[in-house]
A and B are shown apart, each in its own frame.
Chain A
Amino acid sequence: MTVRTFFLGLGAAFGLAWLVLLIAPFDVLADQRPLPYDPDIDGKEGTFPAGLRPHVAEGSRIYLQEGCAQCHTQINRPEYLGTDTHLPLSAGVDPTGADARPTHPNDYLQVPYAPLGVQRLGQDLINVGVRHPDAHWHFVHLYQPQAVVKWSIMPGYEHLFDVMPIQGQRSQDALKLPAEYAPKDKDGNELQVIPNARARTLVDYLLQLRQDESVPASELSPAVRRQMVKDASSK
């Protein structure tokens, strides 16, 4: 093989893969936008997703930086690849109902990098906002996971919280921790634990992880779509 053949061959091999895998899909996926529902088939108006959610881009960045994606996925795979959509903790919504569905690109519309995850040492979080709609639960869980789930193997994220003495009244934002997890100073006085700005943005993001909007019929397989049209016309 000559040097010329090597460089031309490598250029062609890389070029073809670059074109098909990277350049062409980039343009297609970059144009993602909210998808309209068809009132006649979907039975509702509006778009999927319904609207922009606050702090999602920043929250997802913190989620990644704090390493959440190393243990948690955010993905519901279709039925041919397992039982995700029927799992109570992945589906989050009624696992036996029609709301349980595989994830769709529009579920990640606002995030610059979709944190689909590496492995499931912890539970899938695509619907954690449905399972745990209470921000305080998330703050306590982030600060000391074992305070809410005794057997959890998740590490605490103390660096996302300020621990300070109680001067006068306890801050309204201070966490209500079980006595055995509440930090104390060296004299045994209880300290208050207050989430910092990163923790608040992260929890805002977690609360918005909810895959509870249905996918428009236009995005479903032709067979499912035909069935929906049939159902709609028989009503």
Chain B
Amino acid sequence: MSSLPSALSEPELAAQRARTDRSLRLPVLFFFTSAMFWLMVALAVGFVNSIQAFQPGFLAPSSRLEYPFTYAVGQIALIYGWGFNAAFGLSLWLTARMSRVSLKLPLIAVVGGHIWNVAITIGLAAILLGSGGSGVHLWEMPVQLWPALLAAFLVIASQVFGMFFRRENREQVYIAQWFVLGAWCWFIAAVPTTFLLVSAPRGSGVFATLVTSWFGDGLLYLWFVAIAVASILYLVPKVSGRALGGEKILLGAFWGLFGLGVWSGMQRYLGGPAPVKLPAFGGAAAVLLVVPLALIGIVVFRTVAARWKQVGSSPTLRFSIAATIGLLVFGLTKALVVQYPVAALLQFTMATTGVEQLAIFGVFSLAAFGAMYFITPRTSGCDWRSPYLADRHFWFNIYGVMCLLGVNLIGGYGQGLAVSSIDPSWGTKLATNPDAAYWFSVIETSRAYLVARSLSYLFLLISNVVFFTQIAQMWIGKGRRDGQAMQLQSHAH
């Protein structure tokens, strides 16, 4: 469905859209500015961290700025800084547009955003200054901060749900809207659950670990992927001018994503010290999740099939289609790494983290950039200055994502092979020198891939510095004002 029936004429609808965009100017620009700031931090720190992985001491005047701490800082800045701020801005704008209403009290969302960003900053400071972090993967911030983060989230959620319940057309809802609301409902349910189960005084340590890995996969599938899909499903028909066919297929995909995604996560510890059924449920869900993701891909590709030229010239379409391809690759790799023979090699290697990074960089970020190319001119009042830089932004992102995925998968395979090779003479060597060259071979195998991973970060950093300079110009009113939408040259690559 590309648009819902309305009693208004097209000029009246255009005026309504302009009013909606104006009402969102403050919160959307606030969330996109915050998101870009955190993305710069995440990529700069991620780049340093990727070098520290093979060169300890790199740019670390204190041991508090070494690999373990830069890793946590990079993760938090990427996921909760960039990812959530961008998703907040996207959700507000998408909901307002799809509900055809204005945001009545934009300051409330901004207040929520400030609480969120202050909580993240305190979390980073706690990790760097005083060992206050939890050290738990994807849950690194001090546990005490989660109530504040949830409160900030609920403040912003009140605006998203508020606009939805005030929607103009009470009878029909865009399919993309369900993905937005589903993602917000998941987070509201998952954070208190994870918080309570991890902090429960009589809980089991093994179970707490499983719960955070379940939360981690939920973040990927039910937050980042869901928001990315919402953006793609709204913007692809809008920009291509072709109706999104297959509403029933998409409804099936929605229930598939949310019905199965909520089971995924515990397979991270396949073979671990937990009841076998828990990782088994997660593994089965990861395999089955390929189906809803493929259905989404089919519908999106069918929609743009007759408009490939437009995909080349519109940055929004280019990024959205790249994100859809990322979505399919993500689903397939997640399904692949839970297969026993594959997991035996890839579990606990670069490959596992590589698949997570694919969801952030290769699905969510690409969809968010595509949306930003569409939303920012409409909320800032001026347009992108340079099609050339937008083109570079796209290609450097693609190079970065492909490099990151390839390096992590191949490097993870090499790492897994090196870890599992058995030298029969070790039984005797163990007695005299337990750390001798056995692990050295693993490090030597990984080193080249770790270096290449740094290059991926460099691509992404360059790409997004370029984007940042473009978007910053628009925020300070230095964008183009000739009223022409930016067109990329489709023959550039």
Contact = CB atoms under 8 A, between A and B. Distances in A.
* Bind each other: yes
Interface of A: 1, 3, 6-7, 9-10, 13-14, 17-18, 20-22, 25-26, 28-30, 32, 60, 62-71, 73, 75, 77-78, 80-83, 86-89, 94-96, 102-105, 107-123, 131-132, 145, 148-149, 151-159, 198
Contacts of A21: 214, 263, 266, 278, 281
Interface in B220-237: none
A136 to B, nearest CB: 15
Contact of A87 (B263, B275, B422): B422
Contacts of B85: none
The 8 closest A-B pairs by CB, nearest first: A67-B68, A64-B135, A155-B66, A81-B271, A77-B271, A29-B204, A88-B426, A111-B205
A132 B259 CA distance: 47
A86 B269 CA distance: 19
A105 B274 contact: yes
Given A22-B211, A77-B347, A87-B422, A70 B137 contact: yes
Contact of A71 (B68, B178, B251, B420): B68
Contacts of B278: 21, 25
Contacts of B269: 75, 116
A108 B206 contact: yes
B349 A22 contact: no
A13 B262 contact: yes
Contact of A119 (B178, B210, B352): B352
Contacts of A105: 204, 206, 273-274
A70 B71 contact: yes
Contact of B68 (A3, A66, A102): A66
9 contacts: A14-B185, A67-B72, A69-B135, A78-B271, A81-B270, A89-B439, A108-B206, A113-B136, A148-B435
B193 A119 contact: no
B348 A120 contact: yes
Contact of A83 (B259, B420, B435): B420
B31 to A, nearest CB: 25
A67 B74 CA distance: 13
A22 B275 contact: no
A67 B71 contact: yes
Interface string B153-194: 000000000000000000001000010011001100100010
B443 A96 contact: no
A96 B181 CA distance: 54
Nearest to B344: A82
A145 B443 CA distance: 15
Interface stretch (B55-63, B113-121, B366-374): B55-63
A195 B396 CA distance: 46
A132 to B, nearest CB: 7
Nearest to A112: B205
Given A151-B443, A155-B56, A88 B131 contact: no
Interface in B123-145: 131-137
Nearest to A28: B275
Contacts of A94: 427
Nearest to B207: A29
A86 B422 CA distance: 8
Contact of A26 (B137, B186, B197, B348): B197
Contacts of B344: 77, 80-82
B340 A108 contact: no
Given A107-B273, A153-B53, A96 B427 contact: yes
A114 B255 CA distance: 33
B263 A17 contact: yes
Contacts of B281: 20-21
B348 A158 contact: no
Given A10-B258, A21-B266, A71-B68, A62 B206 contact: no
Contacts of A87: 419-420, 422
Given A81-B340, A105-B274, A156-B63, 11 more contacts: A1-B251, A64-B134, A69-B135, A75-B273, A81-B344, A88-B430, A94-B427, A104-B273, A105-B273, A116-B206, A156-B66
A123 B275 contact: no
A20 B353 CA distance: 27
Given A25-B275, A88-B426, A117 B348 contact: yes
B208 interface: yes
Given A1-B251, A64-B135, A155-B60, A30 B207 contact: yes
A81 B343 contact: yes
Contacts of A149: 435
Contacts of A22: 193, 197, 211, 214
Contacts of A67: 67-69, 71-72, 135
B195 interface: no
Interface in B28-60: 52-57, 60
B241 interface: no
Contacts of A17: 262-263
A151 B440 contact: yes
Given A26-B207, A70-B71, A13 B255 contact: yes
Contacts of B251: 1
Contacts of A81: 270-271, 340, 343-344, 347
A23 to B, nearest CB: 9
Contact of B273 (A30, A108, A132): A108
Given A21-B281, A82-B420, A30 B202 contact: yes
A114 B434 contact: no
Given A80-B340, A132-B434, A155 B205 contact: no
A3 B166 CA distance: 13
Contacts of A153: 53-56, 443
B309 interface: no
A131 B272 contact: no
Contacts of A113: 134, 136, 198, 205, 208-209, 212
B399 interface: no
B207 A159 contact: no
B418 to A, nearest CB: 10
